[in-house]
């Protein structure tokens, strides 16, 4: 089956979320967050984290504290951010999605490739170095922006650094807040329902049920001449 964007869309730049799109890492992130919040008396589930995936670490902490009816001052936010990162690296058990590296290694000859992630810089860099060395021109982490997803800033920053036009950019997401960020930035966005129901991704221009569909779609893309 062939998947193509709507007519009049031609791309020269592909901008990927990392967790859940490039790497199967969210269960590890979620486990680390569940333990981090439990240590300050807040009980959450892994699904709670999946539903707000895409937000940077500060955003995750503020959202979870707000849901619990509490507030976190900057000192506590930093403490929790560092603790979560420590737990993530201690039990990091992640892998890239099958076929993605080979496809991107081919696509980079025809497209600008970038990553926009809500994760901290050390986490993003370690994953890209391990699974996608030499693939991406630009990598934006959650620490590189003032406003994380769903704010448009992360994707707008990537476009600014790439020096490309909005209408020539395709965003590949898997999280509701990430889709919102891309659409709030005025970008064409496709999504794969890795960890959440497709219904939660309905703002995306196209939704794929799994990575095999996403890979086929990307393989069929014709670059802007």
* Neighbour tally for 164: CB within 10 Å: 18
Taking only the tens place, the pLDDT of each residue in 131-141 is 999 999 999 99
pTM > 0.85: yes or no: yes
Separation of alpha carbons 193 and 214, rounded Å:
10
Domain ranges within the chain, ordered by starting residue: 13-25+94-220, 26-90
Separation of alpha carbons 42 and 44, rounded Å:
6
Domain 26-90 has CATH 1.10.150.240: yes
- Of 16-20, 49-53, 147-151, the poorest mean pLDDT is in 49-53
Taking only the tens place, the pLDDT of each residue in 36-62 is 999 999 999 999 999 898 888 999 999
Beta strand pairing status for 13-16 and 138-140?
Answer: unpaired
Cα–Cα nearest to 63, from 150, 180, 169: 150
* Neighbour tally for 6: CB within 10 Å: 8
**Hey, what CATH topology would domain 13-25+94-220 get?**
Rossmann fold (3.40.50)
For residue 131, what are the CA distances in angstroms to 19, 24, 25, 57, 114? 12, 11, 12, 22, 14
């Amino acid at each position: 089956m062939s998947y193509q964007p709507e007519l009049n869309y031609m791309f020269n730049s592909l901008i990927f979320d990392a967790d859940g799109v490039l790497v199967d890492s969210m269960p590890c992130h979620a486990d680390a967050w569940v333990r981090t919040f439990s240590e300050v008396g807040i009980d959450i589930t892994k699904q709670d984290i999946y539903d707000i995936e895409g937000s940077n670490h500060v955003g995750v902490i503020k959202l979870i504290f707000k849901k619990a009816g509490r507030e976190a001052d900057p000192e506590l936010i930093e403490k929790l951010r560092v603790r979560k990162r420590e737990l993530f690296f201690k039990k990091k058990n992640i892998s890239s999605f099958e076929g993605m590296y080979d496809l991107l290694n081919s696509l980079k000859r025809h497209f600008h490739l970038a990553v926009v992630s809500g994760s901290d810089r050390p986490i993003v860099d370690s994953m890209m170095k391990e699974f996608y060395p030499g693939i991406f021109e630009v990598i934006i982490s959650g620490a590189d922006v003032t406003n994380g997803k769903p704010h448009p800033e992360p994707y707008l920053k990537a476009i600014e650094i790439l020096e490309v036009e909005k209408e020539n950019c395709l965003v590949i997401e898997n999280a509701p807040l990430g889709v919102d960020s891309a659409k709030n930035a005025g970008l064409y966005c496709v999504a794969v329902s890795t960890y959440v129901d497709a219904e939660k991704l309905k703002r995306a221009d196209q939704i794929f049920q799994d990575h095999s569909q996403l890979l086929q779609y990307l393989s069929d893309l014709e670059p802007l001449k």
